[in-house]
Amino acid sequence: MELRQLQYFVKVAKKQHVTQASEELHIAQSAVSRQIHQLEEELGVNLFVQKGRNLQLTPVGKLFLNRVESIFSDLDRAVSEVHEFLDPNVGVIRIGFPHSLGMNLLPTVVASYKKERPGVKFRLKQGTFTSLIRDVMSGEIDLAFISPFPDSHDYVAGELLLTEELYAILPKHHPLAGESVIRLEQLKDEPFVMFSEGFSLQTIVLDACKKAGFVPNLSFEGEETDTIRGLVAAGMGVSLLPEMASTGSGPLQPARLQLLEPRVTRTIGLIRRKGEKLPPVAEGFRAFLLGYFKGE
């Protein structure tokens, strides 16, 4: 079954006349009749019956027409989506991000870009370090903000965007809450509220505590910065959070202190599939981000 057979079939069904259909298609009448006949033979049914000088759809022909029109509608939509996807001004950007960037950085850069290209759409997907790399590799997303930024990888490449400092967050009634700067070692006897296993921030905090000479006492685990901040503010422990995620707008907020020894940071980068050209709409956003973080 060929696409042109279906196109001829739809045109004949609409015109109810082979001659009129062939004139609109700019195809010889015999060629249209032959294609319709071959289609009926392949299906094993009669799609039309002669009624006077016109052709009328049989019941099964009406059923087939509905399905074929649905197929053409989906095909037209698919072509439109491809053109839209490739258009840097109205396409769709599929981008992944870790939760800790979803409250500040991501909304800020998306809003800034939308001012330049209001027709562009964003399809967002949140994930962990591992899942974001996997989704970029599989083509599920075009770009991903990621932390820490991988120095080298066999299947993804990208650019480092910024290095962000982590702060200690403590309950406001904590004896150290009034300090402006503390050493991480001063929290060695405190219960820690951390991100769950699989989140890169847990690894960063564990490594920092190891450098400070202790293994933290884990009291609670969470998957969202709001939860961790709330638990700390409620007196359930202490934690380390990136600067962008260490403050919130709710009524219950922890104290935030700068860490001096060791200074704890995380890298944030933008990754894409290695060796592949991005769609123009995604490449436009990537170029914007590189300029944005360079202050251009």
Last residue of a domain, one of 86, 101, 124: 86
Residue 76 maps to which CATH number? Answer: 1.10.10.10
**pLDDT > 90 fraction of the chain, expressed in percent and rounded:** 53
pLDDT of residue 84: 67
Last residue of a domain, one of 58, 86, 114: 86
Last residue of a domain, one of 36, 59, 86: 86
pLDDT of residue 254: 93
pLDDT of residue 235: 94
pLDDT of residue 2: 83
In terms of domains, do 114 and 50 share one?
no
In terms of domains, do 271 and 226 share one?
no
* pTM as predicted: 0.69
Domain range enclosing 273: 92-161+267-294
Q: What is the pLDDT of residues 92-101, one digit of tens each?
A: 899 999 988 8
In terms of domains, do 187 and 218 share one?
yes
In terms of domains, do 58 and 144 share one?
no
Q: What is the pLDDT of residues 30-61, one digit of tens each?
A: 888 898 889 889 899 999 888 888 888 999 98
In terms of domains, do 133 and 171 share one?
no
Query: How far is it, in rounded angstroms, from Cα 121 to Cα 115?
Result: 12
Report the number of distinct structural domains present in the chain. Answer: 3
pLDDT of residue 296: 56
The rounded radius of gyration (Å) of the Cα atoms in the chain is 30
Residue 222 CB partners (closer than 8 Å, separation 6+): 193, 194, 195, 196, 228, 231
In terms of domains, do 200 and 216 share one?
yes
In terms of domains, do 275 and 202 share one?
no
Residue 199 maps to which CATH number? Answer: 3.40.190.10
In terms of domains, do 153 and 274 share one?
yes
Mean pLDDT of the chain: 90
Q: What is the pLDDT of residues 253-293, one digit of tens each?
A: 899 999 988 999 999 999 999 988 888 889 999 999 999 99
In terms of domains, do 132 and 192 share one?
no
In terms of domains, do 202 and 254 share one?
yes
pLDDT of residue 152: 83
In terms of domains, do 31 and 169 share one?
no
- Could you give the C-alpha distances from 193 to 32, 157, 222, 269, 275, in angstroms and in order? 73, 32, 8, 25, 40
Q: What is the pLDDT of residues 128-167, one digit of tens each?
A: 999 999 999 998 999 999 999 998 888 999 999 999 999 9
Query: How far is it, in rounded angstroms, from Cα 3 to Cα 132?
Result: 39
What are the structure tokens assigned to 240, written together? 């380390």
In terms of domains, do 172 and 118 share one?
no
